[in-house]
């Protein structure tokens, strides 16, 4: 029998503004640094998806958000994480990226995301198929 892979759980924050989504270039201390992706983070023990979303956004970019709804689910390219994609509404705070976790931020359209490199192959279906329906 093959080995069973234990998948960890993570959330992805879909923050939209004026038809654009906030993406980050992962910082030097982040797993797989320099990749462009929506902000994401691991769900901690005893934490709901919504709680993890609010915490991760606050820790990584300084914004206060409220979780709206789960819009998609996927796995990371290496299949080690299940990703729960949630839309969220910015309630306050100011965009202050944690320099270890976030090298750069951009508000992009789905088309603009397709022009960023490198990106995770598993994120492309969200921008091509899910985002236009939101």
pLDDT tens track of the chain, all 134 residues? 445 567 899 999 999 999 999 999 999 999 899 999 999 999 999 999 999 999 999 999 999 999 999 999 999 989 999 999 999 999 999 999 999 999 999 999 999 999 999 999 999 999 999 999 99
Query: Is position 95 within any domain?
Result: yes
Query: Is position 64 within any domain?
Result: yes
Other residues' Cβ atoms within 10 Å of the Cβ of residue 92:
8
Other residues' Cβ atoms within 10 Å of the Cβ of residue 30:
20
The pTM for the full model equals 0.93
Q: Are strands 63-75 and 81-93 parallel, antiparallel or unpaired?
A: antiparallel
Domain at 50, CATH number: 3.90.79.10
Rounded distance, CA 94 to CA 15, Å?
14
What residues make up the domain containing 31?
8-133
Query: Is position 1 within any domain?
Result: no
Query: Is position 65 within any domain?
Result: yes
Number of domains in the chain: 1
Query: Is position 20 within any domain?
Result: yes
């Amino acid at each position: 029998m093959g080995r069973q892979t234990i998948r960890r759980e993570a959330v992805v924050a879909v923050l939209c503004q004026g038809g654009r989504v906030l993406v980050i270039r992962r910082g030097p201390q982040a797993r797989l640094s320099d990749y462009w992706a929506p902000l994401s983070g691991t769900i901690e023990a005893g934490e709901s998806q919504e709680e993890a979303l609010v915490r991760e956004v606050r820790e990584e970019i300084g914004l206060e958000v409220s979780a709206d709804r789960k819009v998609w689910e996927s796995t990371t390219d290496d299949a080690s994480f299940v990703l729960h994609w949630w839309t969220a509404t910015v309630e306050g705070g100011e965009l202050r990226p944690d320099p270890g976790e976030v090298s750069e931020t951009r508000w992009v359209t789905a088309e603009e995301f397709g022009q960023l490199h490198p990106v995770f192959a598993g994120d492309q279906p969200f921008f091509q198929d899910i985002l236009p329906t939101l």
